[in-house]
């Protein structure tokens, strides 16, 4: 979450007048994240989240995201729900941007997750994959392997200014992944961005998932790899075997993984690390002037990529393959 576009109280009041939310009492921008402009709304009807869609989010994809949240909630997954206007629509325009309001989800995200939090995420991710299996809409992942080279070309000339040797490392890894990327694994709806700040906990229990604006149709095991990268490394970028084992075991108890998925997991984890290295690098080098945003360091994923390049099998993530299959 972030704020790139400011919203006046007059425009916001006029916008929410189409909803049954009551009177606008206050609102404030949310600075965390990097993709859209987000505001916490407080009205006489309660608390809500307003999102103005920017940057990588195409307006044509918004029905997929909003429809997916409704679909998952109907199948028992706790996630924000789009709020409809009196006319039954979920999308509008505010400050020249596509905009939507979703329900507010109670909970806090974990700044220092432990193995139990990682296990809860593994279970929730598997439940998401199963719940999304009959979602009718499809969306191509624009930030999968075919989208990485354009990102690299956007920032390659300045990569070594962020860290020495980064350009050559990315160039070599990109060529290797384009050649060997797994393409015949089970597909379905993936969240594609299930970082700690997109998972809420209450009283030690997982209370819900948010921010579905990278969700798409892609390789399910790739989503697992994204979570390994997001949840199972320490602040010094060392991999925590206990966290990884907890996440993978919990996932497999709900949705066992095939041998082919497990064999591909190291490559998928490398791809996940490269994807977030590239998008963070682009964002780091291209923060709009005056934006209320905290770009995330690309060095984190440079270090994680280095780790995965030395992984030879799923056993290096702390668990035997036989523990993860049916």
- 97-103 and 92-94: which strand pairing? antiparallel
- Model confidence pLDDT, tens digit, residues 80-130: 999 999 999 999 999 989 999 999 999 999 999 999 999 999 999 999 999
Which 8-state DSSP code applies to residue 25? E
Judge whether residue 198 has pLDDT over 70: yes
d(CA 263, CA 182): 10
Beta-sheet strands, E only, within 21-87:
24-29, 37-43, 46-52
Which 8-state DSSP code applies to residue 18? T
Tokens of 309: 């390049």
Q: Which residues of 8-31 are buried (b: 16+ CB within 10 A; e: fewer)?
A: eeeebeebbeebebeebeebebbe
Query: What's the 3-state SS for 112-169?
Result: CCCHHHHHHHHHHHHHHHHHHHHCCCCCECCCCHHHHHHHHHHHHHHHHHHCCCHHHH
Percentage of the chain exceeding pLDDT 90: 83
9-103 — its CATH code?
Answer: 3.30.200.20
| pLDDT value of residue 79 | 96
Q: Give the residue range(s) of CATH 3.30.200.20 domains in the chain.
A: 9-103
If you average pLDDT over residues 282-307, what whole number do you get? Answer: 82
CB 311 within 8 A of CB 240: no
DSSP-based three-state secondary structure for 42: strand
**Helix intervals (H) in the chain:** 9-16, 62-74, 115-131, 145-155, 159-162, 166-180, 220-231, 241-254, 259-285, 299-309
Judge whether residue 2 has pLDDT over 60: no
Judge whether residue 292 has pLDDT over 80: no
| pLDDT value of residue 56 | 63
| pLDDT value of residue 32 | 62
CB 270 within 8 A of CB 228: no
Judge whether residue 1 has pLDDT over 60: no
d(CA 311, CA 225): 13
d(CA 96, CA 169): 39
Tokens of 63: 């029905």
For the CA atoms of the chain, what is the radius of gyration? 20
- How would residue 179 be classed by pLDDT, with cut points 50, 70 and 90? very high
| pLDDT value of residue 6 | 83
Judge whether residue 288 has pLDDT over 90: no
If you average pLDDT over residues 130-147, what whole number do you get? Answer: 96
Work out the angle between the directed axes of helices 145-155 and 259-285 (0-180°, nearest 10).
30
Tokens of 320: 């035997």
CB 213 within 8 A of CB 53: yes
**Cα-Cα-Cα-Cα dihedral sign, residues 249, 251, 256, 262:** negative
| pLDDT value of residue 294 | 67
Does 115-323 carry CATH code 3.30.930.10?
A: no
Q: Give the residue range(s) of CATH 3.90.1200.10 domains in the chain.
A: 115-323
CB 220 within 8 A of CB 132: no
Work out the angle between the directed axes of helices 115-131 and 62-74 (0-180°, nearest 10).
100
Q: Across the chain, what does the average pLDDT equal?
A: 92
- Model confidence pLDDT, tens digit, residues 218-268: 999 999 999 999 999 999 999 999 999 999 999 999 999 999 999 999 999
CA 246 to chain centre: 20
- Model confidence pLDDT, tens digit, residues 147-161: 999 999 999 999 999
d(CA 263, CA 321): 9
């Amino acid at each position: 979450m972030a704020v790139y576009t400011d919203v006046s109280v007059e425009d916001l009041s006029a916008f929410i007048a189409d909803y049954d939310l009551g009177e606008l009492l206050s609102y404030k921008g949310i600075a965390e994240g990097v993709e859209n402009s987000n505001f916490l709304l407080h009205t006489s009807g309660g608390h809500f989240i307003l999102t103005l869609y920017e940057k990588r989010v195409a307006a044509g994809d918004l029905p997929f995201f909003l429809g997916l949240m409704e679909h998952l909630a109907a199948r028992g997954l706790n996630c924000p729900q789009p709020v409809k206007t009196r006319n039954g629509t979920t999308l509008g325009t505010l400050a020249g941007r596509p905009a939507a309001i979703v329900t507010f989800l109670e909970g806090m995200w974990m700044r220092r997750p432990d193995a139990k939090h990682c296990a809860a995420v593994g279970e929730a991710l598997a439940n998401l994959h199963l719940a999304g299996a009959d979602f009718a809409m499809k969306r191509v992942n624009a930030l999968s392997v075919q989208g990485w080279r354009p990102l690299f070309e956007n920032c390659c000339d300045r990569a070594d200014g962020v860290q020495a040797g980064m350009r050559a490392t990315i160039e070599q890894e990109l060529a290797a992944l384009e050649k060997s990327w797994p393409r015949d694994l089970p597909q379905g709806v993936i969240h594609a961005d299930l970082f700690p700040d997109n998972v809420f906990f209450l009283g030690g229990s997982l209370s819900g998932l948010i921010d579905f604006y990278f969700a798409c149709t892609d390789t399910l095991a790739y989503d697992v790899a994204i979570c390994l990268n997001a949840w199972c490394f320490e602040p010094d970028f060392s991999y925590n075997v206990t966290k990884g084992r907890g996440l993978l075991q919990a996932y497999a108890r709900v949705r066992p993984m095939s041998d082919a998925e497990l064999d591909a997991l190291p490559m998928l984890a490398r791809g996940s690390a490269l994807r977030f290295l590239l998008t963070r690098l682009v964002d780091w080098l291209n923060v709009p002037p005056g934006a209320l945003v905290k770009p995330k360091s690309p060095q984190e994923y440079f270090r994680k990529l280095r780790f995965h390049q030395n992984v030879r099998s799923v056993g290096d993530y702390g668990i035997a393959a036989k523990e993860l299959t049916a």
